[in-house]
Structure 1
Amino acid sequence: MSEPYYTLKNEVFANFAYYAAISTLKMMAMSLLTSRERFVKNAFANPEDIQLGRDKQAKVTLTDPDVERVRRNHLNDIENIVPFVIIGILYVSINPSSTTALWHFRTFFFSRIFHTIAYQLPLPQPSRAVGFAIGYATTMSMAIQFLRALFK
């Protein structure tokens, strides 16, 4: 009987688990950056939150460009990291080459780091688009490989 796929003894799963975990932590960090930006700019989305800021007379602000930039970046992470984790779990089940799998996981993670840097600085386009496209293509590659194995 072979080893189960979903154990840290399986190199592919162990590598996936590592990159899924750090990608998820990166995504979670974006919510903290959004909160930080709200406090720095005293730009709160809810009236009750204004009392936490410096200016108790501030108004609800949903349009601060700096807060919105971080928030959109966070939403983009959610839209990309969640599918990566779901597809990655399926991808591990086809027992891919450990080298190929590792490159998929690394490429995705570093594309998200680059995307965030390009979004927050901001770097001129198509920088951010390239970061997004590389991560998206990586997740699509894993999904296609899974579907091909499923329908063999």
Structure 2
Amino acid sequence: MAGVFDNPVFPYFAFYATVVVLKTMAMSFVTAFHRITKKVFANAEDLVDKTKEKVSTHETVERVRRCHLNDLENVIPFVLVGLLYTASGPSLSSALLHFRIFTGARIFHTIAYLFALPQPSRALGFFVGVIATVSMAYNVLSAAKY
């Protein structure tokens, strides 16, 4: 098991993967904040006053939820592919470039999504992150011995 920790790329991967996972987890709290402040509840059992409030949706809550879902769709593949990529023996500079680009793209995507920046800003954040993950996957497949 010491081999993983001897890999000079692994601590950097662990750092950037943790950053994007924590950012994804934070989106749950942002969603809850908007649900509470806007009194928008997804389930009947969440209602405090069952006579006045109702289960409903709100554009802000839905925007945050879509951003969170997009994180889940991108961060999980990044972590899985990134772990394989780290084990495939990439150069430290190449690995750092991939990790930093992905992390920056996801943070930018979240800002663009939550503050409704005009397109193509959100799409740019999305595609740059996807390209970083696909590039890592290509490197893993290229290095694989089958």
Smaller-chain TM-score bracket: over 0.9
Q: Does 1:17 align with 2:11?
A: no
SS at match of 2:55: coil
Q: Does 1:73 align with 2:67?
A: yes
1:10 deviates by 2.5
Q: Does 1:139 align with 2:107?
A: no
Percent identity (aligned) = 51
Equivalences for residues 27-46 of structure 1 within 5 A = 27-46=24-43
Aligned counterparts of 1:107 and 1:142: Cα–Cα separation in 2? 12
Partner in structure 1 of residue 45 of structure 2: 48
Aligned-residue RMSD, C-alpha: 1.5
Q: Deviations over 1:8-57 (max 9, x none)?
A: x4220000000001110000000100000000100000011111x8x861
Say how many residue pairs are matched: 145
Aligned counterparts of 1:110 and 1:57: Cα–Cα separation in 2? 43
SS at match of 1:18: helix
Partner in structure 2 of residue 106 of structure 1: 100
Q: Deviations over 1:119-149 (max 9, x none)?
A: 0111000000000000000000000000011
TM norm structure 2? 0.95
1:94 deviates by 1.0
Partner in structure 2 of residue 59 of structure 1: 54
1:93 deviates by 1.2
Aligned counterparts of 1:14 and 1:29: Cα–Cα separation in 2? 22
TM norm structure 1? 0.91
Deviating above 3 A after TM superposition, structure 1's stretches of 4 or more consecutive aligned residues are none
SS at match of 1:74: helix
Question: Residue type matched to 1:42 in 2?
Answer: K
Question: Residue type matched to 1:57 in 2?
Answer: K
